[in-house]
Amino acid sequence: MLTEASRRRSFAVISHPDAGKSTLTEALALHAKAIREAGRADGKTGKRTVSDWMDMEQARGISITSAALQFTYRDAVINLVDTPGHADFSEDTYRVLSAVDAAVMLVDAAKGLEAQTMKLFAVCKHRGIPLITVINKWDRPGKDALELMDEIQERTGLVPTPLTWPVGIGGDFRGVVDRRDGRYIRFTRTDGGKTIAPEEVMTPEEALEREGDAWTTATEESELLEASGADHDQETFLAGQTTPVLFGSAVQNFGVHALLDVLVDVAPSPAPRPTVSGTTRPVEAPFSAFVFKMQAGMDTAHRDRLAFARICSGVFERGMVVTSARTGRPFATKYAQQVFGRERTIVDHAYPGDVVGLVNAANLRVGDTLYLDKSVEYPPLPTFAPEHFAVMRAKDVSRYKQFQRGVMQLGAEGVVQVLRSDLRGDQAPVLAAVGPMQFEVAEHRMATEFNSPVTLDRLQYEIALRTTPEWIDQLNAQLGVEVLQREDGEHLALFPDRWRVTSVRNRLPDAVLEPLVAT
């Protein structure tokens, strides 16, 4: 079992839409020979890993299912846990990061660090997740490589330690020098990235002869990095202080092989996990896992509820009956599945680091711990600062009971945060979410599952700050500001924009207005 656990590398890709995450995912799978041909990546047209479990998903052509792609590479088992992006950016995107042991920060060479990447980076930093950086799209004109290193250091505080360095500027991609052994790996274009690029490796002498000035510049820059101490260091990488960097072109499948090697060589395998009691549960302890995502209605015929759980310790065996730490009730894992996009495979055995989809999971919730034999509970998953707000009302007021039940359930599952105030009353709670997609999920489930169709009216707030009860009246008196209480008791002051926050802070300099940190 320990051997299996130590073979695992579980990671997620954090990036901004369009940086190439789907393309990279396909390329990784291709390299792992999980699929033969990397189809053209285009999540927006819904041609690819789009699941058809929910009508809504089909209609929008996007996937709202985060699940894991598992494949073997060398002697490792790689779990790539999907982080929903694009319009389906949500709490789940953040929560996925609690299920991985490392993350790959994918950066568009022309755009540098973008907003969504920075948001996800903040969560990685908070959780101490080691980060590998991939500078993508080097086949296109982009920023200067050294400039990008500065940007990473300034904006993330991580010291970039490039493992490869590009030969040729963005748009004139000749290849990379492998800074660990000085070899030159020549970039070869493949037919639309459909096949694995053959790797041509050369000695420095051969590289100089072939590439001339471009090679000289690359090696000089690489030496400059060495002099400034920008070489990979395993300890500081695991401590979240440095980030190994690779350059590549996902669409050409270049650099992907290097990324897989780096994942196997430097990314951590599952470690003992901290529990609520302050101890850690070793990976070799009896089975334990926690639920980081719930998916409803994946199979419309069965109204099925799927719980995605990350295994933390022990061996999972299909059919085993485990205990839910929250309810103390047994849960039979009859049909555990691995889910990625459309594909579902039945899982017979799984090990720490793996993600399984547990069916018939109506009684499970996000954050639940499951265990066998020796009881354990993992800390609850954090809530994140919401950026989208909407008032929800029942279309048919006589269905008040169903409405309240649905609201409670969606809040408890972490689909949305539910905010209330005396002013708005119980019939019109405010839903808050990280991404607007969650509102559609809530609307859909209220109608289909709780039999209470609803209307949702978006509110013009964008920022939520934590405040305390004594400030409620004064804040409510400010134009465009409203205070509501979240279910965990926290008071949230909502603002339409940063400008309003500043002006209220000027007017009420003593008011408690703090950023909502993930707890």
436 close to 395: Cβ distance less than 8 angstroms: no
Burial status of residue 320 (CB atoms within 10 A of its CB: 0-12, 13-18, 19 or more): middle
Strand boundaries in 299-386, DSSP class E: 305-313, 316-317, 321-324, 330-332, 336-340, 343-346, 349-350, 355-358, 369-371
Q: Is 43 annotated as a binding residue?
A: no
- Burial state string for 474-512 with b = 16 or more CB within 10 A and e = fewer than 16: bbeebeebbbbbbeeebbbbbbbeeebbeebeeebeebe
Measured in whole angstroms, the distance separating CA 381 from the mean position of its chain's CA atoms is 14
Distance in Å, CB of 197 to ligand G4P, minimum: 12
State in angstroms the smallest separation of the CB of 130 from ligand G4P. 21
Segment near ligand G4P (CB under 6 A), from 17-25, 321-329, 443-451, 469-477? Answer: 17-25
Instruction: Please count the other Cβ atoms lying within 10 Å of the Cβ belonging to residue 171.
Output: 13
CB of 64: closest distance to ligand G4P in angstroms?
A: 14
> Does residue 172 bind ligand G4P (CB under 6 A)?
no
Q: Work out how close the CB of 382 gets to ligand G4P at its nearest, in angstroms, rounded to a whole number.
A: 24
136 belongs to the binding site for ligand G4P (CB under 6 A): yes
Q: Which CB, 173 or 331, lies closer to ligand G4P?
A: 173
Smallest gap, in angstroms, from Cβ of residue 100 to ligand G4P? Answer: 17
Site residue total, ligand G4P (CB under 6 A)? 20
On the 0-12 / 13-18 / 19+ scale of CB atoms within 10 A, 279 is exposed
Whole-number Å distance between alpha carbons of 350 and 287: 10
Q: Does 314 bind ligand G4P (CB under 6 A)?
A: no
Q: Which is nearer to ligand G4P, 140 or 318 (CB)?
A: 140
| Interacting residue with ligand G4P among 113, 124, 251, 306 (CB under 6 A) | 251
* Nearest approach, Cβ of residue 192 and ligand G4P (Å): 9
The answer to the question of residue 22 lying near ligand G4P (CB under 6 A) is: yes
Contact 482, 471 (CB under 8 A): no
55 binds ligand G4P (CB under 6 A): no
CA distance readout (Å), 470 to 424, 427, 481, 490, 513? 19, 25, 15, 13, 12
Nearer to ligand G4P, 27 or 390 (CB): 27
The residue from 5, 29, 38, 41 that contacts ligand G4P (CB under 6 A) is 41
Query: Which window, 13-21, 95-103, 323-331, 356-364, contacts ligand G4P (CB under 6 A)?
Result: 13-21
Which position among 132, 250, 356, 493 is part of the footprint of ligand G4P (CB under 6 A)?
A: 250
Burial tier of 37 (Cβ tally within 10 Å: 0-12, 13-18, 19+): exposed
**Was 82 annotated as part of a binding site?**
yes
Sign of CA dihedral 512, 515, 516, 519: negative
40 binds ligand G4P per the rule CB under 6 A: yes
**433/318 Cα distance (integer angstroms):** 34
Question: What's the rounded Cα separation, in Å, for the pair 377 and 326?
Answer: 8
Minimum gap (Å) between residue 42 Cβ and ligand G4P: 4
The reply on whether position 19 binds ligand G4P by CB under 6 A is yes
Residue 506 φ/ψ, nearest 5 degrees: -65, -40
Pick from 347, 340, 351, 356: nearest CA to 293: 356
Give the Cα separation of 393 and 220 in Å (integer).
64
Minimum CB distance to ligand G4P smaller for 145 or for 250: 250
Task: Report DSSP letters for 355-378, one per residue.
Answer: EEEESS-TT--TT-EEESSS---P
Least distance in angstroms from the C-beta of 171 to ligand G4P: 9
Contact call for residue 116 and ligand G4P (CB under 6 A): no
Query: Residues 21, 60, 293, 500: which binds ligand G4P (CB under 6 A)?
Result: 21
Q: Is the dihedral of CA 343, 31, 20, 234 positive or negative?
A: positive
Is 83 within any annotated ligand binding site? yes
Q: Binding residue for ligand G4P (CB under 6 A) from 1, 7, 18, 118?
A: 18
Based on the number of CB atoms within 10 Å of its own CB, is 375 exposed (0-12), middle (13-18) or buried (19 or more)? middle
- We find the least distance from the C-beta atom of residue 141 to ligand G4P, in angstroms, to be 10
Tracing tokens 């951590």 back to the chain, one arrives at 268
Least distance in Å: CB of 62 to ligand G4P? 10
Of 322, 311, 309, residue with least CA distance to 281: 311
Nearest to 308 by CA among 200, 413, 463: 413
Pick from 5, 9, 11, 17 the residue near ligand G4P by CB under 6 A: 17
Interacting residue with ligand G4P among 9, 20, 90, 450 (CB under 6 A): 20
Stretch binding ligand G4P (CB under 6 A), from 19-27, 74-82, 165-173, 482-490: 19-27
Residue 98, interface with ligand G4P (CB under 6 A)?
no
Query: Residue 401 burial (CB < 10 Å; 0-12/13-18/19+)?
Result: exposed
Phi and psi angles of residue 256, each rounded to the nearest 5 degrees, phi first: -75, -40
Q: Looking at beta carbons only, is 85 or 240 nearer to ligand G4P?
A: 85
In this structure, the number of other CB atoms found within 10 A of the CB of residue 90 comes to: 24
137 binds ligand G4P (CB under 6 A): yes
140 contributes a contact to ligand G4P by CB under 6 A: yes
State how far Cα 409 lies from the chain centre.
24
CB of 230 to ligand G4P, least distance (A): 23
* Site for ligand G4P contains 168 (CB under 6 A): no
15 is a site residue for ligand G4P (CB under 6 A): yes
Looking at the Cβ atoms of 62 and 416, the one nearer to ligand G4P is 62
Q: Determine, following the binding rule CB under 6 A, whether residue 372 of this chain makes contact with ligand G4P.
A: no
Per rule CB under 6 A, is residue 338 in the interface with ligand G4P?
no
Residues at the contact surface with ligand G4P, assessed by CB under 6 A: 15, 17-23, 40-43, 85, 136-137, 139-140, 249-251
Feature table: binding site for GTP: 82-86
